Structure 1
Amino acid sequence: MGQTIASPLHLGLERLCAAPGGDGIIAAPGYPGIERIQARFRGDVFEPHRHDTYGLGLTLGGVQTFHYRGERRYSLPGRVIVLHPDELHDGGAATEEGLIYRMLYLEPSMLLGVTRLGLPFVDDPVVSDDRLAALLLEAFGALDGMLEELFVDDFLARLAPSLARHATQPTKPLGTIARHQVDVARDYLAAHATRVVRSEELERLTGLDRFALSRHFRAAFATSPHRFLLMRRLQMARTLIAEGSPLADAAAATGFSDQSHLTRHFKKTFGMAPGAWASMLGQGRGLRSAGFTT
């Protein structure tokens, strides 16, 4: 099960995995709508959780396992993982040797900016596709480097047809979706994420009643307006925690009533408590200084 295929891509993966061992998570510098991490650990680490983003991963070493849509899945080195927004999953290493992988979290709105079709749904979350794997490796790049706008534009232009190629259901045009209104609502929610946004505000802003807006918003972005708002708060909190903010301060700064409120939602969304996340990041900084990302 741990065997790798001898191709230029997999030889490159072997070089990535040759750095010193140790558990931890390394978070790359952010880009609007994109998050990138590298993780190394043993055992089951992530409890069942769901994101409002695509999760696009590449297994680098070991055997990656997770439950997804009622089945237990396995990914070997060089395989691509495609998790659709709002799908429940967990995560861990299937063997004692542990696991190394990289993950890119992509807001669905970025794909919709490339195509007027709906979001591609890849039913099988473990894909064998060297071209797609190589594309993701380009996006991961050096984890201490910033992504550039021109690179992201090209990455998205190539990613959209790659995902559509593996989609089991044909994507449909967005003609029946009130695209302008949901874009306006999304931008407003992102700009006011740290406070309570009422349905009446979005109704006045978009001209849609709350039920129609919710229906169109979910059709476009695979999540609800409330869930989108909550996820923006959690991503802000995660950034503050990564920068060393105490959990209580991060909760207060991002619109949560208290630390326990943040902890409850953080665990449901990211699969681990914020304290555990901070600890893994701290270990990841040690791995970075040891040359783990080379």
Structure 2
Amino acid sequence: MDIDRKSDTRTEFAKFGFVEASQRIEGLHAKFVRHEFATHVHDTWAVGAVLSGAKDISPKREPRRVVTDGDCYALPPHRPHAGRSVSDHCEYVMLYVPDQEWREQCAAYGVDPEKFLNSVSSRPQFARQLASFVGLVLRYPEMVAKWTGEWAVFCEAIFSPPGCTEFAQARVASACGSRDFRIVRARDYLREFWDKNVSLAELAREASMSTYELCRRFSATYGLTPHRYQLVLRLTSAKSQLLQGASISEVATDTGFSDQSHLGRHFKSVFGVTPGTVVREAARSREK
């Protein structure tokens, strides 16, 4: 998780940041003990998760709506709500996403935005994913803005059904083959511009289909969403360069990652080892 955790539950803090990607996306990581929010609304979607403690988000004079450790929720624009700790503290993260951007991402994965996390639900994994992405927004906003694939990969993780491993996806690709020339065209486009920031809308135009149809057909054929496919292309190129003796910092820049830690996080998630491990093994091989 990319969020710094505080051990002292009595310490209050609030960290705010934003990125100017396709639309402005804001993040908040906060912990309150005594502070109470007045009833208010946002003009964006408010997607939140409690990391520890508990809070009541209901407006005054309405039934309590308590969100506790590991719970998540999403509020549509202009939905009245408040907030106050109902334990010794409440530490949480929030993501504020413009309505158009949130609905476009939901449509791409066939998700009804009105039903997604419509009520408080216990989803510890989603809470961790949200905390990790908010951490990126707060620490490395230029990275998220530079490559909107970070945002797309996060949306893929929360909207796509679980249980599909990289190995199983590879088998799906070989079984499905290249049945739809539009999907092949989209794949070739990603291969040609693997180091560019290719948006779903741009790729959908190239394939002459909607973003939802593109995501669905592309995933069925290749076992990966378009942005995940592009991410793997970048990482494969990074590994090849590392094996040829390039430095980690040079490779990170060349393959579109903001720094070594950004590259390392995704590299290990796909290959199971860090870039440093590959560099050491490559150097050892050359010495033989």
TM-score by length of 1: 0.44
**Greater relative contact order structure (CA < 8 Å, 6+ sep):** 1
